[in-house]
A and B are shown apart, each in its own frame.
Chain A
Amino acid sequence: MNCEKIRQLLEANADGELDLVGHLELEAHLRACPECARRAEGIRARRNALRESLPRFTAPPRLRERILAQSRAEAVAAAPPPRRFRTGWPLWNLAGMAASLAFALLIGFAWGQARSRANSIWEEAASAHVRSLQTGHLMDVASTDQHTVKPWFAGKIDFSPPVTDLAEAGFPLVGGRLERIDGREAAALVYHRRLHTINVFVWPAADAPLSPGRRAKNGYNAESWTHAGLNFLAVSEIPAAELDQFVGEFRKKTE
């Protein structure tokens, strides 16, 4: 690719919109061409400034409450198709105005009696992901350094999760914490994708290996795999294709 072509793609590359081949080709050019690299640096500076300095407005609690109340009133007034709300409302009334999203999800997840163990693990992980975003309890150890995150787990859990930074692939490691999945201690590795968070839960497969697969639920995507006696479950609100890319990068670096 020549410089002119490269410069047209710099923005898309910084935005994570180039495919892997295009991205690698462009990065190779940047290493060889100081002028294009300078322009790429300008774009990086701008992106950092925008992401660090632009405020994100968060919905005030009263808005959340008004919408919950409104949606309940609507549901009663409009008598929606019974299948959607049949079992949910009594629980909701109990939960009351203070019911948080996490609670809503947990109630949602508590439905359905006959579910396989695998199903409940997926849902546990999804709840843990949502909870981590809600309570601000995202990290016990905040570090972009894999050599800080990995030792942190030593002594806290009886297995050693593989920890690797994927910043180069656009998924910086930001920290880790402890979680409970399937009734035992699990390591949660926290990565960022733009402003989104990816939680990777890791715990020993022992005699209960997780079958590999993908799921989408309530706007969250999850992907599971097993390697070297450990179960891995990645959960995020990023699109499934991006999560798949993340899992690919993670496995490439750790297997």
Chain B
Amino acid sequence: MEAFVPTEPPTFEQMMLPHLDAAYNLACWLLRDQHDAEDAVQDACLRAHKAFGGFRGADGRAWLLTIVRNVCYSRMRQNRREPAAVAFEDEVHGSTHDPAEANALAWHEVKGALLRQALERLPAEYREVIVLHEIEGLAYREIAGVAGIPIGTVMSRLARARQKLQAELLELTGKGSP
């Protein structure tokens, strides 16, 4: 393994701007409003900039997403738009329960607009694991870092989120709950 020889420490722009789309996408899905998302990302970048001198990690994306997530959650709390309903379910279902089956038929026919609607109906904690994993392609370990939860919880939360998403989808298509 060849050692990384730093020439100059990377600047804030070099480290963070590549991940602006990821940050904006997460904020859009969490706040469900593109205008709010812009403000939140700008706010998050300002905080990131102030804290950047102390940033020593290698993963700028995870770091920026963590800050964006925190900003979005405090905005949601201020607006009281999100009930905090998830902690309990994590406890009950743990990581060992047998996840409900993914219904291949339901998923083969799904349309984008409907899927978006179904995802927007999920609690924020479920939306974020779906967005981080399915859209941004983050691994469990990275999601654990961003959301500040253990990897086992990422796994069970993702399973619950997918299950709920399927239930919402079936409800929206008028096929009832599975």
Other A-B contacts than A63-B24, A63-B41, 10 sampled, CB-CB below 8 A, are: A8-B99, A12-B155, A17-B140, A53-B116, A54-B112, A55-B116, A57-B21, A67-B20, A80-B53, A81-B53
User: At the interface, is chain A mostly helix, strand, loop or mixed?
Assistant: helix
- With both chains docked as a complex, state the minimum distance between the C-beta of A122 and any C-beta of chain B, in angstroms: 9
Per-residue CB contact flags for chain B residues 108-127 toward chain A (1 = under 8 Å, else 0) read 10111001100100000000
- With both chains docked as a complex, state the minimum distance between the C-beta of B110 and any C-beta of chain A, in angstroms: 5
Flag if A74 contacts B46 (CB, 8 Å). yes
Q: List CB contacts (< 8 Å) of A102-119 with chain B.
A: 104-105, 108, 111-112, 115, 119
Q: List CB contacts (< 8 Å) of A234-248 with chain B.
A: 237-239, 242
Interface residues on B, range: 35 or more
Flag if A45 contacts B61 (CB, 8 Å). no
Question: Given the complex, which residues of A lie within 8 Å of B78, measured CB to CB?
Answer: none
Question: Given the complex, which residues of A lie within 8 Å of B41, measured CB to CB?
Answer: 59, 63, 67
Bound-state CA distance A165–B28 (Å) is: 35
Flag if B104 contacts A45 (CB, 8 Å). yes
- With both chains docked as a complex, state the minimum distance between the C-beta of A213 and any C-beta of chain B, in angstroms: 3
Q: List CB contacts (< 8 Å) of A173-198 with chain B.
A: 193-196
Flag if A59 contacts B104 (CB, 8 Å). no
Flag if B20 contacts A50 (CB, 8 Å). no
Flag if A111 contacts B7 (CB, 8 Å). yes
Bound-state CA distance A51–B135 (Å) is: 6
Flag if A218 contacts B10 (CB, 8 Å). yes
Bound-state CA distance A215–B6 (Å) is: 10
- Interface assignment of B67: CB less than 8 Å from any CB of chain A: no
Task: Please indicate which of the listed interface residues A195, A217, A219 has the most CB atoms of chain B within 10 Å of its own CB.
Answer: A219
- Interface assignment of B11: CB less than 8 Å from any CB of chain A: yes
- Interface assignment of A68: CB less than 8 Å from any CB of chain B: yes
Bound-state CA distance A215–B173 (Å) is: 48
Bound-state CA distance A4–B98 (Å) is: 8
Residue of B nearest to A213 (CB): B2
Number of A residues with CB within 8 Å of any CB on chain B: 73
Bound-state CA distance A182–B29 (Å) is: 42
Residue of A7, A54, A85 touching B11 (CB-CB under 8 A): A85
Residue of B1, B8, B34, B108 touching A214 (CB-CB under 8 A): B1
Per-residue CB contact flags for chain A residues 48-62 toward chain B (1 = under 8 Å, else 0) read 111101111111100
Q: Which 7 A-B pairs have the closest CB atoms?
A: A213-B2, A194-B137, A42-B102, A112-B7, A59-B24, A53-B112, A42-B104
Task: Please indicate which of the listed interface residues B4, B25, B38, B102 has the most CB atoms of chain A within 10 Å of its own CB.
Answer: B102
The stretch from B69-77, B85-93, B158-166 touching chain A is B158-166
Residue of B23, B58, B158 touching A219 (CB-CB under 8 A): B58
Flag if B42 contacts A60 (CB, 8 Å). no
Task: Please indicate which of the listed interface residues A49, A112, A242 has the most CB atoms of chain B within 10 Å of its own CB.
Answer: A49
Question: Given the complex, which residues of A lie within 8 Å of B50, measured CB to CB?
Answer: 74, 78
Residue of A47, A104, A214 touching B14 (CB-CB under 8 A): A104
